[in-house]
Amino acid sequence: MRHAPAVARILVGLMFLIVGLNGFFNFLPPPATLPAAVVTFMGGMAAAKYMLPLLAATQVIAALFLLSNRFVPLALALLAPVVLNIALFHAFVYHAGAAQASVTIVLYLIRMDVSQRISVDACHAGRRGVVVIRINPAYHIASGAAKCDS
C-alpha cells in the first residue's frame, strides 16, 4: 500500500500520455460505431479547431510532469477539468466506456489525495475569521486534519 501513490502517478501519467499523443497522431482507432450524441459532441469540439489540440497538449504536458515526478500538483490541477469531463461524458453521453473512465478517475483521486499538502488551517484564521491557506509539509492525509501549533 505504501507504493500506491507512485503506482497511481505512473499509471495516470501513462494513460494521459498515450491518449494525448493519440490526439496528435491518431494511432488508436476509434470504435466502429458511435452513438449520435458522441458524434455531435466530438464534432462540436472539432469545429472549434483549437479545442482538441489544446486538450491533447494539456494531457501530454501533464503526463510528462507526472511521469517525471516534477510539478505533480500542477499536473493534477491541469488534469482536473479533463478528469471531470471524462466523468461527465461517460455519465451522460457515452456509457460504454464507463469502466475505463472509472479506473482513470479512481487512480487520479488516489494520486490527488496523496499529493495534497495544502491544508486550510482555520486555527490560524486570525480575528476576522479569514481562512488562511498555507503549505503544510507536515500534513499527512492518514493522520486526519492538520493540527494547530498554537
List the single range of 6-15, 47-56, 122-131 with lowest mean pLDDT: 122-131
d(CA 132, CA 122): 7
List the single range of 34-38, 80-84, 105-109, 121-125 with lowest mean pLDDT: 121-125
Contact 56, 20 (CB under 8 A): yes
Given a cut of 70, whether residue 92 has pLDDT beyond it is: yes
Q: Where are the domains of the chain?
A: 4-116, 117-150
Which amino acid would we find at residue 33?
Answer: T
- In this prediction the pTM is 0.74
Run of H or E including 16: helix 4-25
pLDDT at 114: 61
